[in-house]
Amino acid sequence: MKDIQILIVDYGSQYTLVIGRSLRELGVRSLILPPKKVDQWLKENDPKTVILSGSNWSVHNEGAPELPKSLDITGKKYFILGVCYGMQLLAHKQGGKVARPHDHREYGPAVVTLDTTHPLFSGVKEKTEVWASHGDTVSKLPKGFRSIAVSGGIAAMSDKTNRVLGIQFHPEVADTKEGKKMLQNFLKISGCKKDWNPEDLIREIQKEVLDIVTSPKPSPDRRGKKGEVIKQKVILGVSGGVDSTTLAAILAPVLKDRLICVAIDTGGLRAGELSELKANTGSALGKNGLKNFTVIDAGDEFIKNVSTTIDGEEKRARFREVYKKIFEEQIAKYNAGFIVQGTLATDIIESGKIGESAMIKTHHNVGLLWKVEDLHPFRNLFKYEVRELARTLKLPPAIYERNPFPGPGLYLRIVGTPVSKENITLVREADKTVSDILKKHKITKDISQLIVALIGINSVGVKGDERVYGHSLAVRAVQTVDFMTAKSYYFPEEIINEITSALTKHKDIVRVFFDMTPKPPATTEFE
Ligand code: XMP
């Protein structure tokens, strides 16, 4: 592996991996480490630049994460960029002041005025829209620093040499209109060269997985004698979505008949998905050399377990239990030594399993303890990057353009009312109705994800001059690049009317709500 030019110190911001992703989009790889692992890494490596991430901590809180001891923040050894908390930490540690003013908290879009003579903002508009998310702010600069952006308070700072920089807003988030340009400028200032492309990544993933599964040193998990190369099977759960299908296509040529792909009918799939999975995914993977593909029918078992609660996290826990049990049965059946999953960086961040990130929701396949070793080769990747790998592998557009769908499927779209076969059928039909309308109006491509949820509000309505007491549906369409933040899609009025009229044709549906809340504060799914 080539030397890493950029180290990102992860202070737990929701956006840390987005910094890595944005740099990769600009062609440069980076490594993300929690502060406690940095000292060791710096002993053995020589990065060109170190980026300090944001955090939900305040520098004034007891126990707030610190600068790694051996990190040189003078800019002599490497360029330094502090983002949000990273900037506050740089200021605080060098004699500046960090305050929590009541009138300068920013959450969401903000407008900043930049000093465009500074190389960090070269070619960027003087007034530009950015994404901010902070309560604390640098109120006094450290000695030798100057302000290079303002938005009510200091929004960015630089030392005299332009080697130590701080930005209060988030250049890595897609909503910072010219964030990419700023990061590109930073790469230029710090002399980082392009070192990432999809073909390399595919080869790296194949090598990483092959090295582990053919390792002659058995770990306690790899039931074999010391020194023996064990040819154990590798189980991969395939949902038909872009992540798992792409991973299977990457691994099939190197693992050959050792790779067992298992698809589960969870009972929570969308209309037509099961037949698509059997026909299209199976054949696309077959073309990539996959030999073993099985579909397991477990709908009744999932419904029985998930229907015992209406609490979002509990539902996810019930779903995970059944999911784990089924995979364990497969592991035993094939005497497999490994399980490999298409878990993305987003899933890991929001499950609170990376660095210091806060837990938002437990993804169905993250953090499960298996009896065998589990591998997550996509752990540093985002959805759009996996789509790029799928395109590179020449998988069909139906796979790489596919809207994401959560593993727990329609179970997450029955909110505040118990899951039942009838309710699942209702949301499945409603999802198909709305999807067909979007297709008819050719707006599917403008929407990153559509959610049609049954919400537990029963209310009075009138149908055919008669009083009815029925359910409500919520329709939510979002636009996003990486699912870390999302904007609501505004349907044209005639489409709102068409959707409402189509959904209320169902005898039990009385009301349709349209959810326009962005992420944050909402999430994409309802739970
Ligand atoms: P949220 O709701 O967290 O969703 O904004 C971000 C993306 O992740 C999907 N999602 C999941 N995918 N297992 C998955 O495989 C899960 O448990 C899960 N929960 C959410 C969601 O549909 C969206 O695309």
Q: In 3D, which of 34, 16, 47, 53 has the Cα closest to residue 380?
A: 16
* Higher-scoring residue by pLDDT: 335, 351: 335
What fold characterizes domain 420-514?
GMP Synthetase; Chain A, domain 3 (3.30.300)
Residue 418: pLDDT over 80: yes
Residue 436: pLDDT over 50: yes
pTM here is 0.74
Q: Which residue has the tokens 């809340």?
A: 517
CA-to-CA distance for 23 and 40, rounded, in angstroms? Answer: 24
Is residue 245 part of an annotated ligand binding site? yes
Domain chopping of the chain, boundaries: 6-190, 198-400, 420-514
Of all protein residues, the one whose alpha carbon is nearest to atom 9 of ligand 1 is 406
Locate the DSSP E strands across 153-199.
Answer: 154-159, 164-167
Summarize pLDDT for 485-513 with one digit per residue, the tens: 788 999 999 999 999 999 999 999 999 99
* Higher-scoring residue by pLDDT: 213, 216: 213
Ligand 1 pocket check for 526: Cβ under 6 Å: no
Ligand 1 centroid to residue 481 C-alpha, Å: 14
pLDDT of residue 1: 39
Atom of ligand 1 nearest to the CA of 347: 8
CA-to-CA distance for 111 and 293, rounded, in angstroms? Answer: 52
Q: 239, 242, 524, 527: which to mutate for ligand 1, most atoms within 8 A of CB?
A: 524
Provide mean pLDDT across the span 171-192: 95
Q: How many angstroms separate the first and last alpha carbons of the chain? A: 39
| Portion of the chain with pLDDT greater than 90, in percent | 68
Ligand 1 pocket check for 407: Cβ under 6 Å: yes
What are the residue numbers of the active site? 84, 170, 172
pLDDT band for 263, please (50, 70, 90 cuts): very high
Considering the segment(s) 198-400 as one domain, its CATH architecture is 3-Layer(aba) Sandwich (3.40)
Summarize pLDDT for 50-98 with one digit per residue, the tens: 999 999 899 999 999 999 999 999 999 999 999 999 999 999 999 999 9
Provide mean pLDDT across the span 298-302: 97
Q: In 3D, which of 94, 88, 101 has the Cα closest to residue 138?
A: 88
Ligand 1 pocket check for 519: Cβ under 6 Å: yes
Residue 402: pLDDT over 90: no
Tokens of residue 152, six digits = 């009510």
Of all protein residues, the one whose alpha carbon is nearest to atom 8 of ligand 1 is 406
- Nearest 5 degrees, angle CA 336-CA 200-CA 29? 105
Q: Any idea which of 36-40, 98-102, 164-168, 373-377 has the lowest mean pLDDT?
A: 98-102
Is residue 243 part of an annotated ligand binding site? yes
Ligand 1 centroid to residue 360 C-alpha, Å: 11
| Portion of the chain with pLDDT greater than 70, in percent | 94
DSSP 4: P
* Higher-scoring residue by pLDDT: 401, 48: 48
Q: Are 331 and 338 in contact (CB under 8 A)?
A: no
* Higher-scoring residue by pLDDT: 277, 305: 305
Ligand 1 pocket check for 411: Cβ under 6 Å: no
* Higher-scoring residue by pLDDT: 240, 360: 240
Atom of ligand 1 nearest to the CA of 364: 17
Summarize pLDDT for 99-134 with one digit per residue, the tens: 876 655 667 788 999 999 999 999 999 999 998 877
CA-to-CA distance for 419 and 189, rounded, in angstroms? Answer: 55
Residue 225: pLDDT over 70: no
Cα separations in angstroms, 67 against 34, 73, 80, 85, 472 = 11, 9, 12, 11, 50
Ligand 1 pocket check for 350: Cβ under 6 Å: yes
Q: Any idea which of 22-36, 324-338, 349-363 has the lowest mean pLDDT?
A: 349-363
Tabulate helix, strand, coil % of the chain (nearest 5).
35, 25, 45
Residue 367 backbone class (left: φ over 0; alpha: ψ -120 to 50; beta: rest): left
Of all protein residues, the one whose alpha carbon is nearest to atom 14 of ligand 1 is 406
Q: Which of 164-178, 272-286, 392-406 has the highest mean pLDDT?
A: 164-178
Sign of CA dihedral 143, 153, 487, 175: negative
Ligand 1 centroid to residue 195 C-alpha, Å: 30
Residue 314: pLDDT over 90: yes
Of all protein residues, the one whose alpha carbon is nearest to atom 10 of ligand 1 is 406
- What is the rounded average pLDDT for all residues in the chain? 90
Q: Any idea which of 256-270, 321-335, 359-373, 374-388 has the lowest mean pLDDT?
A: 359-373
Q: 360, 363, 450, 479: which to mutate for ligand 1, most atoms within 8 A of CB?
A: 363
User: Coil, helix or strand for 36?
Assistant: helix
pLDDT of residue 136: 87
Residue 484: pLDDT over 80: no
Ligand 1 pocket check for 482: Cβ under 6 Å: no
Q: Do 6-190 and 420-514 show the same overall fold? A: no
Q: Any idea which of 37-51, 103-117, 474-488 has the lowest mean pLDDT?
A: 103-117
Summarize pLDDT for 166-179 with one digit per residue, the tens: 999 999 998 899 99
pLDDT of residue 103: 58
Ligand 1 pocket check for 320: Cβ under 6 Å: no
pLDDT of residue 360: 74
Q: Has domain 6-190 been given CATH number 3.40.50.2300?
A: no
Is residue 137 part of an annotated ligand binding site? no
Is residue 239 part of an annotated ligand binding site? yes
CA-to-CA distance for 191 and 182, rounded, in angstroms? Answer: 14
Q: Are 13 and 53 in contact (CB under 8 A)?
A: yes
Provide mean pLDDT across the span 363-375: 85
CA-to-CA distance for 333 and 296, rounded, in angstroms? Answer: 13
Q: 15, 314, 324, 347: which to mutate for ligand 1, most atoms within 8 A of CB?
A: 347
pLDDT of residue 206: 96
Ligand 1 pocket check for 409: Cβ under 6 Å: no
